[in-house]
Chain A
Amino acid sequence: MPDAPSSAPSPTAAEDVALQSALAAAHTAVWGYAVVGAALPLEQREPVTAARQAHRDLRDQLTGLLTSRGVEPVGAEGGYALPFPVLSAVDAAVLAVTLEDGTSSAWAWVLDQATEVGTRELGVAALTAAELRAVGWRTAADRTPVTTPFPGLPAS
Chain B
Amino acid sequence: MSGPLSSSPAAGAFSRRSLLLGTLAGAAALASGCTSEPGGTADAVTPAQVDRLAAQVQVQEALVAAYDRALATGPELAAAATGLAGQARAQLDRLRAAAPGATSSAPPATGTPASTTSTTTTTTDAPPDAAGAREWLRTRVTGAADAHAAACPAFTGGRAALLGSISAGLRGQAGALA
Chain A contact residues, CB within 8 Å of chain B:
13-15, 18, 21-22, 24-25, 28, 31-32, 35, 77-87, 98-99, 101-102, 104-109, 111-115, 117-118, 120-121, 123-124, 127-128, 130-132, 134-136, 144-156
Asked if A98 contacts B169 (CB within 8 A), the reply is no
Q: Which residue of A lies closest to B3 (CB)?
A: A81
Asked if A108 contacts B11 (CB within 8 A), the reply is no
Is B19 positioned at the interface, with any CB of A under 8 Å from its CB? Answer: yes
Contacting residues, chain B, for A25 (C-beta < 8 A) = 19, 23
Chain B nearest CB: distance from A59 CB in Å?
15
Asked if A79 contacts B4 (CB within 8 A), the reply is yes
Asked if A147 contacts B153 (CB within 8 A), the reply is no
Asked if A134 contacts B166 (CB within 8 A), the reply is no
Q: Which 5 A-B pairs have the closest CB atoms?
A: A79-B6, A77-B12, A14-B38, A80-B14, A102-B19
Asked if B172 contacts A134 (CB within 8 A), the reply is yes
14 A–B contact pairs at CB < 8 A? Answer: A35-B1, A80-B5, A81-B6, A85-B2, A102-B16, A108-B161, A109-B30, A114-B160, A120-B152, A120-B160, A149-B91, A151-B172, A154-B27, A155-B31
Contacting residues, chain B, for A113 (C-beta < 8 A) = 38
Asked if B13 contacts A81 (CB within 8 A), the reply is yes
Asked if A109 contacts B4 (CB within 8 A), the reply is no
**Interface size of B as a range:** 35 or more
Contacting residues, chain A, for B10 (C-beta < 8 A) = 78
Asked if A117 contacts B153 (CB within 8 A), the reply is yes
Chain B contact residues, CB within 8 Å of chain A:
1-8, 10-17, 19-20, 22-31, 35, 38-39, 83-84, 87-88, 90-91, 94, 145, 149, 152-158, 160-162, 164-169, 171-173, 175-176
Chain B nearest CB: distance from A27 CB in Å?
9
B6, B10, B94, B164 — most chain A CB neighbours (10 Å): B164
